[in-house]
Chain A
Amino acid sequence: MQQPGRAAEIKANGIGKSFGSFRALDNLTLDIGRGEFLTLLGPSGSGKTTFLMILAGFVQPSEGRLFSDGVDITDRPAEQRAAGMVFQGYALFPHMSVEQNIAFPLKVRKKSAADVKRLVGEMIERVGLKGHEKKLPAQLSGGQQQRVALARALVFEPGVLLLDEPFSALDKSLRGQMQAEMKRLHQETGTTFVFVTHDQSEALALSSRVAIFNHGKLLQVGKPDEVYDRPDNRFVAEFLGEINMLPVKGVKPADNGATGVCEDRAINMRCKAEKVRGDAILAIRPEHMSIAPEATAGENGIAATAVASTYLGAATKLDLTTRQGAKVTVSVPNEVAAAALSKGNSVWLTWPAEKGFLLPDGGQ
C-alpha cells in the first residue's frame, strides 16, 4: 500500500480478532492479488467488515500478520498505510467543498498547488462531477456524494482501495449505475479493490473473486462462477442464491462422477463425490432444473406436484412438492409454468447430470 500508482498485493496470514469474548475473525489466511477485485461477502457480524478495518489499519488484529508487497504492515498505523477507503455513508468532510474533499489526501502528502489543481481536476472529470466543484457535500445527491468519496479515495493513487458497503444507501437503479462506474474505475486505475457487501448479486456481478464469510470464518474463496456453481458447503450454496436440496441415498463414485438414488430413482452426477459417501444432499440451482411430462430412461428426474407460482416477468418461479415431501423451486418459462399448474397433478422435474453438486447429509 505504500507505492503510489502501483497496485498492491496483500497477504493475510492467520489473522484473528477477538472483542472481549466475541470472536470476530478466526484464523484468516488469504492472498489478495495485484489489481484484483476481491469481494468480502457475508451476513452482518460475519467478520467481513472487521477484516476490512484490519486491512485499513483501524483495527489491530489479536493475532496473525498482514503483508503488503511482502512488507509486514501489521503494526503500521492507518495514516501510514494510506489505503484508499470508501466508507458506508461516504464520510465526506461536511465543511469542505467537493474540490477540497478530493484535494485533502493530496495536501496531506504536500503536493504542490499546481499538482493538486491538476489531479483534482482530472479526478472530478473522471467521476463526472464537473460543475459541482464548489458545492458542499450536503448539497449533493447520494450518487454524487458516492462519486466524491470514490474520487477522494482514488486521487492519490493508493495501492489498494477498500470499500465498505458503499452502495447500501442508494436506490436500485442508481446502484446499478454506480456498480458499472466502479467496474470502470477498477479497470482504468488497475488498483487492487477490496469490496465489502452483504448483497450476493452485487458480489457476483462485480468481483474477480469472492470471499464468503460467516461467524468470523472465511468459508470459501473463488471466482464468482466457481463459488456459485461449486460451493464447498451448504452455507455458501444458500447464501449465494436460491437452491434446492434433495436427499440422495447410496452415493458411490462412478466413471466421471457419482451415482445415487433420489426418491427411489437412480441418478447420475458429474460432480465428484470425494468427501461424500452413502447419504448426501444434492444441491441444484432453480434455473438448472426443468419441467417435463415424462422422464426418459437414464435421465435424472423425479416426480413432483406444482403447488404455487410467482410471475417474475421474464420467467416464472414454480414451487413444487416431490412425492417424498421435499420442497423444490424451479425457474421455468411462463407457459411451462402455466401448463404445469393447470394439469394439477404430477409432472417430472429433470436436470442434466452436469448440474448440481453433492453436500454431506445435513452438514454445513
Chain B
Amino acid sequence: MMKGTLSDRMGAALLMAPLLLFLILAYAWPFLGVVKWSFTLPTAGLGQYHALLTDDLVQSVFIRTLRIAAIVTVVSVTAAYAITVVWVRGSPVQRVLAEFCILVPFWISVLTRAFGWVALLSNRGLINTWLQSIGFISEPLTLVRNEFGVIVGMSHFLIPFAVFPLASAMRSLDERVLLAARGLGSSRMRTFWTVFVPMTRSGIIGSALIVFVFSLGFFVTPAILGGGRSVMIAELIYLRIFQSPDWGLGAAISVVLVVFVGALMALLFRYVKPKQLV
C-alpha cells in the first residue's frame, strides 16, 4: 500500500482528500457530538457509562448482539467458504454460476431482502406452506420474528462480503502444494482438510472479522426479521434516542460500540491487507 515515490503518495493523498473531508464532516464531527452527549446528558459525568454496566436490558442486548454476530459469522464464513472454493477452483461453468450468486445480492437493497425473507419464513410464508402441504409438519414453524430469522437474514446479507478475503487467500495458494499432498498419498478430502483449509487461514480470519464487525452494527435486518423480539444493539440505540428520549444512554452505547468495532478493525488489518477485501 505504502510503496511508491513521495509524489505518488502525495497524489494519492490529494485524490482521497475530498472523501476524507466528507467523512470528517458527515461522520467524525457528528460523532464527536455523540461522545459529548454520552458524558453530559442528562448530567455531566460518567453516569451513563455506569448505567451501561448495571442496566440488565442493555447487558442482555449486548450479549444477544455478540451471540448473534458469532453465529452469523460461523454460518456466513462456512457458506462463503464453500461458494469461494467453487468460484476459485471450479470448472468454468461453476465459476460463472458462483460469481452470479456472489454478485446478484449486491444489486438488491437490504430492505427488499429482509422482506423477501419474511415472505419466505413467516407462518403463512412459502416454507411453512410447503412443509405443511407435503405433510412434513402440522403446525407452522416459528422461523421469523425470532433470532433464527435474524440469523438467516443477516447471514444471507453478509455471505458475499465474506467471499472476497477467502478468494484472495485461495488464489494466492501454491497449486503444487496440493499436488504434493496428493502425490504423497493423501485423498482429496484429506488434502482439503489438512492442507487447503489451514493454508487459507489468513483468509478465514479476515473473512470472520469482517462479518463479525458488520454484524454488530446491523439495524434493518434484525428490526424487520426480529420483529421487536430479538433487539440488537443498533436497534437499542435507536429506541433510546427516538422513543424513550434517553440520549445520554443511547450515546454511551454508541461510543462503546464504535470503540469495540474500532479495536476489531485494528485487529483485522493486522491479518488482511485492505486490497484483499475487494
Which residues of A are interface residues toward B (Cβ below 8 A)? 56-58, 77-80, 82-85, 87-89, 91-95, 104-105, 108-109, 152-153, 156, 162
Q: How many Å from the CB of A357 to the closest CB on chain B? A: 40
Which residues of B are interface residues toward A (Cβ below 8 A)? 174, 176-177, 179-188, 190, 194-195, 198-199, 201
Residues of A within 8 A of B180 (CB): 85, 87, 91-93
Residues of B within 8 A of A77 (CB): 182
With known contacts A94-B199, A95-B199, A95-B201, A104–B186 Cβ distance under 8 A:
yes
**Cα–Cα, bound, A56→B183 (Å):** 7
**Cα–Cα, bound, A156→B181 (Å):** 13
Q: Is the CB of A109 within 8 A of B185?
A: yes
Q: Is the CB of B198 within 8 A of A105?
A: no
Q: How many Å from the CB of A21 to the closest CB on chain B? A: 19
Q: Is the CB of A89 within 8 A of B185?
A: no
- Residue of B176, B179, B185, B194 ringed by the most chain A CB atoms within 10 A: B185
With known contacts A78-B182, A79-B182, A93–B177 Cβ distance under 8 A:
yes
Interface of B is mostly: helix
Residues of A within 8 A of B195 (CB): 93
Q: Which of A93, A95, A156 contacts B185 (CB 8 A)?
A: A156
**Cα–Cα, bound, A94→B196 (Å):** 11
Q: Is the CB of B176 within 8 A of A108?
A: no
Q: Which of A85, A88, A93, A95 contacts B183 (CB 8 A)?
A: A85
- Can you list 11 pairs linking A and B with CB atoms under 8 Å apart? A56-B179, A57-B183, A58-B182, A78-B183, A79-B182, A79-B186, A79-B188, A82-B185, A88-B176, A92-B180, A93-B177
Q: Is the CB of A95 within 8 A of B179?
A: no
Q: Is the CB of B184 within 8 A of A108?
A: yes
With known contacts A94-B199, A95-B198, A95-B201, A87–B179 Cβ distance under 8 A:
yes
Residues of A within 8 A of B183 (CB): 56-58, 78-79, 82-85, 162
**Cα–Cα, bound, A153→B179 (Å):** 13
Q: Is the CB of B176 within 8 A of A156?
A: no
Q: How many Å from the CB of B202 to the closest CB on chain A? A: 11
Q: Which of B177, B190, B198, B199 contacts A108 (CB 8 A)?
A: B190
With known contacts A94-B199, A104-B181, A89–B187 Cβ distance under 8 A:
no
Q: How many Å from the CB of A192 to the closest CB on chain B? A: 15
Smallest CB gap from A85: residue in B: B183
- Residue of B177, B188, B198 ringed by the most chain A CB atoms within 10 A: B177
Q: Which of B177, B182, B184, B190 contacts A94 (CB 8 A)?
A: B177
With known contacts A94-B199, A95-B198, A152–B184 Cβ distance under 8 A:
yes
**Cα–Cα, bound, A88→B185 (Å):** 19
Smallest CB gap from B198: residue in A: A95
Q: How many Å from the CB of B58 to the closest CB on chain A? A: 41
Q: Is the CB of B179 within 8 A of A78?
A: yes
Residues of B within 8 A of A58 (CB): 179, 182-183
